[in-house]
Each structure stands twice: as C-alpha cells, then as structure tokens.
Structure 1
Amino acid sequence: MNPGGSALSWRRWVRSAGYAWAGIAHTYRAQPNFRIEVWAGAVALGLAVGLRVPPTPILLACALVLGLELLNTALEAAVDLASPEWQPLAKVAKDAAAGAVLVASLGALLVGVVELGPPLLRLMTF
C-alpha cells in the first residue's frame, strides 16, 4: 500500500465534501422550502431534546426530507439545462421529484406527531 495513497484519498474526500457543502449552501440560499424544512427540523429536534424523546426518528425523517429536497433541486437544474423550453416529460420529472419531497414531508410530519404528540399533550394537561 502506498503511504501517500491514504493522504490522497483523504484529500479527495475533503474536496468532495466541500463540493457537497457548496450544493447544500446553494440550495439553502436558493430554495425557500429547503430553509423552511431545515428550521422545522431544528424545531422538531429541539422539542425532542426538551421533551426527552429519543431524537433518532426525528433525525431520520429530517435527513430523508432534506436529502430529497437536495435531489429535487439537482433534478430541476439538470432538467432546465437539458430542456430550457417547456416539455411535457420535463414537467413529469420535476413534478415527480417534488412529489417525493411532499411524501417524505408528510411522513416526517406523522413521525413528529407520533413521537412528539403524546409528551406535548401530557405537558399541556398539567
């Protein structure tokens, strides 16, 4: 094994992570729904911590929604690049990607209700 190969792989990973963070930052700046989802997730995680509810289901739901929103943004950009004029199949692709985000968001909402609802109700009844 080449001793320098490990450092090279590490540098490559750091560079790739930088590109990924650039994509996340762009999406945060350019997509209002992504910002809403980030802050809704932060509130849900804060509630989970405050209510002493295990945060794992909330974290997974947030990761799913945010990951799909990033993919939706990427797909929209790629479709716009490939097909600048309106095309029915481009609309199908964009609508389906947006639908995936919607389905994940509704699932995340249900996770929040199931995980956070009972402790919130107990807190409100005292």
Structure 2
Amino acid sequence: MRSDGSALSLRRWWRSAGFAWAGLLHVYRTQANFRIEVWAAGVALALGWWLQAPLAPVFLSCALVLGLELLNTAVEAVVDVASPGVHPLAKVAKDAAAGAVLLGSLGALGVGATVLLPPLLGRVLGGISP
C-alpha cells in the first residue's frame, strides 16, 4: 500500500500503530511462547520494582526477548508462505529465528541472575547480602 503523505502525519502514525497493535494481538492470541514470555516479563519487572533493583536492564532484556519472538513468528509465517512444502533452507530459516529467541532468552536469564537474584537473596535470607 502506498504512503498517504508526510512521515510526520499523525494520521499515518495512528494507522501504523494500529497495524503494530494488530500484530502484537495476533501473536499474543496464537503463540503460547509469546504469552509465557509476556507474563514472565511482567513478573520480572514487578520483582525488580519490589526489590528496588535497576529496572532498565530488566526492561531492555524483556523487550529484546519479546521482540525476537515477534520476529521469529514473522519469519515462520513468511517461510510458510514462500515454501509450503518441506525445504532444507526453510528449516534453516526457522531454526535460526528460534535460535535467536533462545539466545536472547538466555541473555535475559543472565541479566535476571545478576540484577534480581542478589537483592532477592538478600530479602529471603533476612537482609544478608550475598
């Protein structure tokens, strides 16, 4: 579809935002892993807030994992359209996209372990700093 005017157009921005929200809602409704990751992000952010830990690295890690999951879903959809049959390169594309989500998730776990675990252990162990 052609652009309907200036990049600074509020109408254009709202329209683009609507497409983005439609994509987010579709992925949330159809992808169990995305729903799990959304709720895990909520728990991590709430825990960080409760522990008064730095929220920026937790927020960025959550955004990274969710963004990668959205891209993984997009890659899978495009590959399914382009190659409805079994093809070795289609498998490579899907596996690589899933690998990106896995790598981002492991990184997010590392951030959680370094940012959230020490203050959590301090609270659980009665104020003893690890």
Same fold (TM over 0.5): yes
- SS of the aligned residue for 2:105 comes to helix
Question: Using the alignment, how far apart are the partners of 1:63 and 1:92 within structure 2?
Answer: 25
1:96 aligns with 2:96: yes
Question: Using the alignment, how far apart are the partners of 2:28 and 2:116 within structure 1?
Answer: 26
Write the deviation string for residues 15-50 of structure 1: whole angstroms up to 9, x where unpaired: 001000100000001100000000000000000000
Q: TM-score, normalised by structure 2?
A: 0.90
In structure 2, the residue matched to 1:36 is 36
Partner amino acid, structure 1, of 2:92: V
In structure 1, the residue matched to 2:56 is 56
- SS of the aligned residue for 1:65 comes to helix
Show structure 1 runs of 5+ residues with no match: none
What is the aligned-residue identity percentage?
A: 68
Question: Using the alignment, how far apart are the partners of 2:104 and 2:39 within structure 1?
Answer: 16
Superposed structure 1 runs of 4+ greater than 4 Å apart? 5-8
In structure 1, the residue matched to 2:84 is 84
Partner amino acid, structure 1, of 2:28: Y
Q: TM-score, normalised by structure 1?
A: 0.93
Write the deviation string for residues 54-112 of structure 1: whole angstroms up to 9, x where unpaired: 11000000010000100000010000000000100000000000000000000001100
Per-residue deviation, 1:9: 1.1
In structure 2, the residue matched to 1:69 is 69
More helix by share: 1
Per-residue deviation, 1:124: 1.1
Q: Cα RMSD (Å) of the superposition? A: 1.4
Q: 1:93 to 1:6 in 2, by over 3 A?
A: closer
Question: Using the alignment, how far apart are the partners of 1:75 and 1:87 within structure 2?
Answer: 15
Q: 1:50 to 1:83 in 2, by over 3 A?
A: same
Show structure 2 runs of 5+ residues with no match: none
